[in-house]
Copies of this chain bind each other. A is one copy, B any other.
């Protein structure tokens, strides 16, 4: 899985603590964890295309959450970065075997494909059931001064 997923999740979570109605630049988000700003920007663009973030150009511009954290699941972020297609892609090689039909959808009939699809469904279900608001609440409970620290980090970061 792409490393950008981790960056995107942490960045979205940090945006949760940004001052309301204020946009944070990609440079500030990157400086938070010493990440390459231009590359993180690329991933943030993907999140914006997916409708998770809203982007603003020019001075005082940057990124902010397009929806309240309760409406953004971890699965949404992963899908925005990794793409919608599932990890295990059934190529239907059974069609090339003896007794194979080319007019049959083996994604639905092949037992192996079904098993992998079920497992992936369980994975997706876990991630779809966890929202940014859940993560935010958990972090704030464990580390109460995280919101303040994050805001200060944004304010002190140059660029």
Contacts and interface: CB of A to CB of B under 8 A. Distances in A.
List the number of copies, as a whole number: 2
Contact of A88 (B5, B35, B96): B5
A98 B153 contact: yes
A66 interface: no
Contact of A13 (B13, B96, B112): B112
A112 B33 contact: no
A102 to B, nearest CB: 13
A115 interface: yes
Contacts of A138: 111
Interface string A71-94: 000100000000000011111011
Given A6-B88, A119-B127, 17 more contacts: A1-B87, A1-B88, A10-B94, A33-B93, A33-B96, A35-B93, A87-B87, A97-B153, A98-B149, A99-B149, A111-B135, A112-B135, A115-B127, A115-B130, A115-B135, A119-B123, A122-B122
22 contacts: A1-B89, A3-B89, A6-B91, A9-B112, A10-B94, A33-B94, A34-B96, A74-B112, A87-B87, A98-B149, A98-B152, A98-B153, A111-B135, A111-B139, A111-B142, A115-B127, A115-B135, A119-B123, A120-B123, A122-B125, A122-B126, A123-B123
